[in-house]
């Protein structure tokens, strides 16, 4: 099955911008139908090519394609803002973010040249890496975080289908924007938590 | 509990698909494919009858000895665009023996109007065609469906199926450290090109992969593309591309901090290869770096200092059929105002200068006024291309004026000969292209007879 990787990349960016738009307080104040209509209009505007390039395409040039884990979190956030119900518990989501912070802290320095070992190379279909990842996903689904397990599973499935241009599994698992978000979210959580204890 | 079970089921399904993919895709093959060079008997130029000299003096000048094969050595300007900045050329031999060159050209390096241009050198007519645009920022941006700010280094290689692959650098944000690679293919020798396609090579927003070195083939027909990383730290890498141009592996050749940039892979035989790199570190003396493999590229050895200096500038090299190596580089520790042809007869351990292609270090510290400087520029232009020597003065002035923008950029008289690219054609002819003062791409070609004569001269010089 041949997937148009540009379409899937642009869809991811459009989803991300829509999810961020849905979190704007003034947008959240609208009734559900108006909110959905506004987001639908946003999707159309983002997808219209202006001078040969859509707004999503412009953003994609800067951000690159977003990992499946990022898309999963954004989708959960979007569904929550539209439905008013969280599909995953906060603790579940936070556990996943911790895993992202730890993975990113180890992965990025090594992948960007610190030392001779390049973990990014494992993403080109290394069997041991896949086996290790399967172990993490299995453990996470029962003992740690179903959101983490789901994000790994969806990333592996998307990589198998060639969802993006990348042939490297890491690009489906993780991206720098997710790492930055996870780090800030967790630091903020710790900071606020400390404040509560002090009070 | 149901959610956990469903999640585990999804995990199993996804990994089933993943493992199926891993099982299906062939592992990257190692071992090199050697290029086939078949030197043909080319008409040789024999020195004219010697002019008699006065008694008491040596009867013949060295190159006027009767029956000495002089060989063919010619130079031209490959690029023809005036009043533009031109840089980073690469060459490929076409199936009919002509040479196609690529470079980038625009109002200045990094400008949004920079395009990837191409022209063809026809040896029979001894001239380069007019240059044509093969990729622009706009065409690339539309095809890639993402914002592109500027274009850079193009490198061309021939895939095992006979098609041409053109790789070029694109940047969306920031400087060259933010580069990504884009690829196009051509099945008609570069007349038309496929839609550009982005290669994903880095986990950090896919930035900081640049290309300069000549692609090579592995034994199974997959392609090796020497690349380098520049963001935060600098190091050399090799991308492994399958028959469809998909990235199937990436090897880090050196750690960060070792200053290895713009690797050039010299394939000696099926298992052995040497990599030479530009050195961008701070160690003195400023020597190029090298590393090697003895198992077909599966593993690469430690980075070593090479025996020749490198002023943080690109170099190019190739292996001759007899196993000796030729390189083109700035044989100096700083500056790029000379360019040399180097030879190694011992597999890359020792190098000696065979011929000076350009030499302008002599004017470096001289305080030349504009008139003096431009007179030198005019002489260099005319010596570089016979066409210019016969050109009407008005047209030649346009060339001088184009060069002036860079040569006198800082008010002095500074020259730059950089970013060489060296290939050997199937008939044994060698072709070098390089940036000439950032305004033109210069092309030098010589045949094996000329090379042999210089090799002989070198050996004789060593004996003395």
Of A111, A127, A168, the CB nearest to B22: A127
Could you report how far apart the first and last alpha carbons of chain A are, in Å?
57
Quickly tell me which residue has 């060459």 as its tokens.
Answer: B91
Q: Do B247 and A168 touch (CB under 8 A)?
A: yes
Q: At what angle do helices A32-47 and A68-83 cross, to 10 degrees?
A: 150
Helix, strand and coil content of chain A, in percent to the nearest 5, comes to 75, 0, 20
Three-state secondary structure of B331-347:
CCCCCCCEEEEEEECCC
Task: Give the closest residue to B266 by CA, choosing from B34, B18, B11.
Answer: B34
CA distance A117 to chain B (A): 8
* Residues B222/B242, Cβ–Cβ less than 8 Å: yes
Judged by CB atoms closer than 8 Å, whether chains meet at A157 and B255 is answered as no
DSSP character string of B17-67: HHHHHHHHSPPPP-SBPPPP-----PPPPBPPPPPP--TTS-SS-GGG-TT
Is the pLDDT assigned to residue B100 strictly greater than 80?
Answer: yes
pLDDT, residue B248, reads 96
CB contact under 8 A, B256 and A112: yes
pLDDT at B418 over 50: yes
With 0-12 / 13-18 / 19 or more C-beta atoms within 10 angstroms meaning exposed / middle / buried, residue A188 is: exposed
Q: What is the pLDDT of residue B57?
A: 43
Scan residues 154-183 of A and list those with Cβ closer than 8 Å to B.
Answer: 154, 156-157, 159-161, 164-171, 174-176
Q: B22 vs A125: CB contact, 8 Å cut-off?
A: yes
Are residues B88 and B153 in contact, defined by beta-carbon separation less than 8 angstroms?
yes
The better pLDDT of the pair B433, B42 is held by: B433
Q: Which two tokens stand for residue B123?
A: 């040896």
Residue B66 pLDDT greater than 90, yes or no: no
Best of A64, A138, A142 to disrupt the B interface by mutation (most B CBs within 10 Å)? A64
How far apart, in whole angstroms, are the C-alpha atoms of residue B339 and residue B353? 10
- Under the banding of pLDDT at 50, 70 and 90, the label for residue B462 is low
CA angle B451, B457, B461 (to 5 degrees): 145
pLDDT for residue A198: 45
Determine, for residues A113 and B233 on separate chains, whether the beta-carbon distance falls below 8 Å.
yes
Query: A159 vs B21: CB contact, 8 Å cut-off?
Result: yes
Please check whether residue A71 touches B, CB under 8 A: no
Taking the C-alpha atoms of residue A40 and residue A38, their distance in angstroms, rounded to an integer, is 5
CA distance B125 to A36: 67
- A111: contact with B, CB 8 A cutoff: yes
Q: Does residue B65 surpass a pLDDT of 60? A: no
Alpha-carbon distance of B109 to A74, in angstroms, equals: 39
Sign of the CA dihedral with B213 first, then B214, B218, and B220 last: positive
For B148, nearest residue in chain A (alpha carbons): A61
Nearest to B99 by CA among B122, B127, B130, B77: B122
- Residue pairs spanning A and B at CB distance below 8 A: 168
Smallest Cβ distance to B205: which of A63, A118, A165? A63
Bridge partners of B441, per DSSP, are: B435
Q: What is the ipTM of this complex?
A: 0.92
Distance from CA of B22 to the nearest CA of A (A): 5
CA distance B459 to B464: 9
Structure-model confidence comparison of residues B189 and B26, the more confident one: B189
Taking contacts as CB-CB distances below 8 angstroms, the residues of chain A near B14 are 137, 152-154, 156-157, 160
Helix (H), strand (E) at residue A137: helix A127-139
Q: Does residue B233 sit at the A interface (CB-CB below 8 Å)?
A: yes
Helices and strands (H and E) in chain B: how many:
6, 26
Torsional sign, CA A78, A83, A87, A91:
positive
Instruction: Please identify among residues 81-120 of chain B the ones whose CB lies closer than 8 Å to any CB of chain A.
Output: none
Q: Which residues of A touch B233 (CB under 8 A)?
A: 112-114
Residue B384 pLDDT > 70, yes or no? yes
Among candidate residues B230, B134, B236, the one with its CA nearest the CA of residue B185? B134
Note the pLDDT tens digit of each residue in B192-202. Answer: 999 999 999 99
Measured between beta carbons, which residues in chain A are less than 8 angstroms from residue B28? 124
Do residues B406 and B85 touch, judged by C-beta distance below 8 A? yes
Identify which of B14, B229, B252 has the shortest CB distance to residue A153.
B14
Residue B105's φ and ψ, nearest 5 degrees, are -150, 140
pLDDT at B58 over 50: no
**Alpha-carbon Rg of chain B, whole angstroms?**
24
Q: What pLDDT score was predicted for residue B55?
A: 44
pLDDT of residue B133: 98
B405 alpha-carbon distance from chain centroid: 24
d(CA B327, CA B422): 7
Is the CB of residue B91 less than 8 Å from the CB of residue B76?
Answer: no
Please tell me which residue, B52 or B216, carries the higher pLDDT value: B216
What's the CA gap between B247 and B165, in Å, rounded?
A: 13
Average pLDDT over residues B114-123: 97
Question: Tens digits of per-residue pLDDT, A163-181?
Answer: 999 999 999 999 999 999 9
Provide the 8-state DSSP code for B129.
Answer: P
Closest Cα in chain B, distance from residue A183 (Å)? 16
Q: Which of B29, B144, B134, B139 lies closest to B92, judged by CA?
A: B134
Which of B18, B234, B249 comes nearest A124 by C-beta? B249
Mutation for testing the A interface, residue in B6, B147, B150, B203 having most A CBs under 10 Å? B203
How does pLDDT run along chain A (199 residues), one tens digit per residue? 446 899 999 999 999 999 999 889 888 888 888 989 999 999 999 999 888 899 999 999 999 999 999 999 999 999 988 887 888 888 999 999 999 999 999 999 999 998 889 999 999 999 999 999 999 999 999 989 999 999 999 999 999 999 999 999 999 999 999 999 999 999 999 998 865 544 4
Task: Please return the burial class of B17, using the count of CB atoms within 10 Å of its CB with bins 0-12, 13-18 and 19+.
Answer: middle
Distance from B355 to chain A by nearest Cα, in Å?
38
pLDDT digits (tens, 9 = 90+) for B2-55: 888 999 999 999 999 999 999 998 889 999 999 877 766 555 444 444 444 444
* Interstrand relation of B417-424 and B352-359 (parallel, antiparallel or unpaired): unpaired
Which of B350, B258, B357 has its CA nearest to residue B308? Answer: B350
Q: Which residues of B touch A6 (CB under 8 A)?
A: 144-145
Give B315-346 pLDDT, tens digit per residue.
Answer: 999 999 999 999 999 999 999 999 999 999 99
- The 3 state secondary structure assigned to chain B is CHHHHHHHHHHHHHHHHHHHHHHHCCCCCCCECCCCCCCCCCCCCECCCCCCCCCCCCCCCHHHCCCCECCCEEEEECCCCCCCEEEEEEEEECCCCCEEEEEEEECCCCCCCCEEEEEEEECCCCEECCCEEEEEHHHHHHHHCCCCCEEEEEEEEECCCCCEEEEEEEECCCCHHHEEEEEEEECCCCCCCCCCEEECCCCCCCCCCEECCCCEEECCCCEEEEEEECCCCCEEEEEEECCCCCEEEEEECCCCCCCEEEEEEEECCCCCEEEEEEECCCCCCCEEEEEEECCCCCCCCCCEEEEEECCCCCCEEEECCCCCEEEEECCCCCCCCEEEEEEECCCCCCCEEEEEEEECHHHCCCCCCHHHHHHHHHHHHHHHCHHHHCCCHHHHHHHHHHHHHHHCCCCCCCCCEEEEEEEECCCCCEEEEEEECCCEEEEEEECHHHHHHHHHHHHHHHHC
Interface touch B18/A161, C-beta < 8 Å? no
* Residue B457 C-beta-side C-alpha neighbours within 13 Å: 16
Q: Per-residue pLDDT averaged across B416-423, rounded?
A: 98
Judged on CB neighbours under 10 Å (0-12, 13-18, 19+), B20 is: exposed
* pLDDT for A135: 97
Mean pLDDT in residue range B376-404: 94
- Largest interatomic CA distance in chain B: 109
Report the pLDDT value the prediction gives residue A165, as an integer from 0 to 100.
Answer: 96
């Amino acid at each position: 099955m041949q997937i148009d990787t540009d379409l899937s990349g642009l869809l991811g960016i459009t989803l991300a911008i829509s999810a961020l738009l849905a979190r704007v307080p003034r947008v959240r104040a609208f009734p559900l139908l108006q909110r959905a209509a506004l987001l639908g209009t946003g999707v159309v505007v983002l997808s219209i090519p202006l001078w040969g390039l859509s707004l999503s395409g412009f953003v994609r040039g800067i951000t690159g394609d977003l990992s499946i884990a990022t898309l999963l979190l954004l989708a959960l956030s979007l569904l929550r803002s539209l439905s008013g119900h969280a599909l995953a518990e906060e603790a579940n989501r936070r556990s996943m973010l911790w895993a992202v912070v730890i993975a990113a802290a180890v992965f990025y320095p090594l992948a960007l040249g610190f030392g001779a070992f390049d973990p990014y190379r494992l993403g080109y279909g290394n069997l041991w890496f896949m086996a290790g990842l399967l172990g993490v996903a299995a453990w996470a689904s029962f003992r740690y975080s179903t959101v983490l397990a789901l994000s790994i599973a969806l990333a592996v499935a998307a990589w198998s289908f060639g969802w993006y241009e990348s042939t490297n599994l890491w690009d489906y698992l993780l991206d720098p924007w997710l790492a930055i978000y996870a780090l800030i979210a967790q630091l903020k959580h710790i900071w606020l938590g400390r404040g509560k204890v002090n009070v | 509990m149901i959610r956990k079970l469903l999640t585990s089921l999804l995990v199993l399904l996804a990994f089933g698909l993943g493992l199926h993919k891993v099982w299906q895709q062939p592992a990257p093959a190692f071992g090199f494919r050697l290029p086939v060079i078949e030197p043909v008997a080319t008409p040789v130029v024999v020195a004219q009858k010697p002019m008699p000299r006065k008694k008491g003096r040596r009867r013949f000048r060295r190159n006027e000895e009767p029956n000495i094969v002089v060989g063919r050595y010619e130079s031209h300007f490959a690029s023809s665009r005036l009043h533009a900045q031109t840089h980073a050329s690469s060459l490929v031999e076409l199936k009919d023996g002509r040479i196609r060159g690529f470079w980038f050209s625009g109002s200045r390096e990094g400008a949004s109007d920079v395009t990837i241009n191409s022209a063809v050198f026809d040896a029979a007519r001894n001239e380069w065609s007019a240059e044509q645009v093969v990729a622009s920022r706009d065409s690339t941006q539309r095809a890639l469906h993402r914002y592109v700010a500027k274009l850079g280094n193009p490198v061309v290689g021939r895939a095992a199926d006979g098609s041409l692959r053109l790789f070029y650098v694109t940047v969306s944000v920031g400087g060259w450290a933010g580069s990504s690679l884009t690829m196009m293919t051509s099945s008609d020798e570069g007349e038309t090109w496929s839609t550009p396609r982005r290669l994903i090579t880095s986990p950090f927003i896919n930035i900081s992969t640049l290309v300069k070195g000549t692609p090579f083939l592995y034994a199974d027909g997959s392609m090796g593309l020497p690349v380098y990383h520049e963001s935060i730290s600098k190091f050399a890498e090799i991308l492994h591309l399958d028959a469809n141009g998909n990235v199937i592996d990436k090897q880090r050749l050196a750690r960060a901090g070792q200053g290895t940039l713009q690797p050039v892979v010299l394939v000696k035989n099926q298992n052995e290869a040497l990599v030479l790199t530009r050195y961008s570190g701070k160690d003195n003396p400023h020597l190029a770096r090298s590393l090697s493999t003895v198992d077909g590229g599966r593993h690469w050895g430690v980075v070593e200092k090479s025996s020749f200096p490198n002023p943080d500038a690109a170099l190019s090299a190739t292996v001759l059929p007899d196993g000796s190596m030729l390189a083109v580089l700035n044989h100096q520790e700083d500056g790029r105002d000379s360019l040399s042809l180097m030879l190694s007869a011992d597999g890359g351990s020792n190098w000696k200068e065979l011929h000076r292609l350009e030499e302008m270090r002599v004017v470096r510290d001289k305080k030349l006024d504009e008139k003096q400087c431009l007179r030198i520029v005019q002489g260099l232009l005319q010596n570089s291309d016979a066409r210019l020597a016969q050109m009407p003065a008005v047209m030649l002035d346009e060339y001088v004026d184009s060069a002036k923008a860079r040569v006198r950029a800082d008010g002095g008289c500074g020259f730059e000969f950089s970013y060489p690219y060296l290939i050997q054609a199937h008939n044994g002819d060698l072709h070098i292209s390089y940036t000439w003062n950032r305004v033109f791409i210069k092309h030098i070609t010589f045949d094996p007879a000329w090379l042999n004569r210089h090799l002989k001269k070198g050996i004789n010089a060593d004996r003395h």
